[in-house]
Amino acid sequence: MGKEIRYAGFSQRLLAHNVDLLPILLLLYGSTFLFPKIGFDWLIFLLIYIGYNIGFELSNWQATPGKKWAKIHVEVEAKNNYAIRIVSRNFLKILSLLIFFLGFVFIIFNRQQKGLHDYLAGTVVLFDD
């Protein structure tokens, strides 16, 4: 028999996200001390957030430190264009957010626990073996 695929649900993903916010916010606050007159805190936050997620999800971990701590990781459904799918997934999270968080609510209502950004990018979040 093959191994059972275990999809990471909303609570595990939210926990991982909250753990990841600590270093992201530290980077954001550090950048405001280095560049106090810029005034684009939301844009800096977004760039740090997306860069942090893309960098770690493209690594051998396939997960941010928060996901690693929660014992989950991101995989692509089709093994081609891995980097493009990971980059797309993280930029598409903005869409999931902008439609009143409904893209994240998708996670609760489907068997594979996929958010809108996962559907569009062809990714899935799984528990580690």
H-run or E-run covering 126:
strand 123-127
Does 78 have pLDDT greater than 60?
yes
**Tally of domains in the chain:** 1
3 state DSSP class of 58: coil
pLDDT band at 92 (very low <50, low <70, confident <90, very high): very high
pLDDT of residue 39: 61
Cα(67)–Cα(59) distance, integer angstroms: 13
Task: Evaluate whether residue 2 is within a structural domain.
Answer: no
Parent domain of 104: 10-127
Task: Evaluate whether residue 5 is within a structural domain.
Answer: no
Task: Evaluate whether residue 3 is within a structural domain.
Answer: no
Q: Which two tokens stand for residue 77?
A: 């459904």
pLDDT of residue 40: 61
Residues 6+ apart with CB under 8 A from 119: 106
Cα(121)–Cα(1) distance, integer angstroms: 29
- Report pLDDT digits (tens) over 113-126: 999 999 999 999 99
H-run or E-run covering 48:
helix 41-57
pLDDT band at 33 (very low <50, low <70, confident <90, very high): confident
pLDDT of residue 31: 72
The Cα-based distances of 64 to 35, 44, 85, 88, 126 in angstroms read 26, 19, 16, 16, 13
pLDDT band at 80 (very low <50, low <70, confident <90, very high): confident
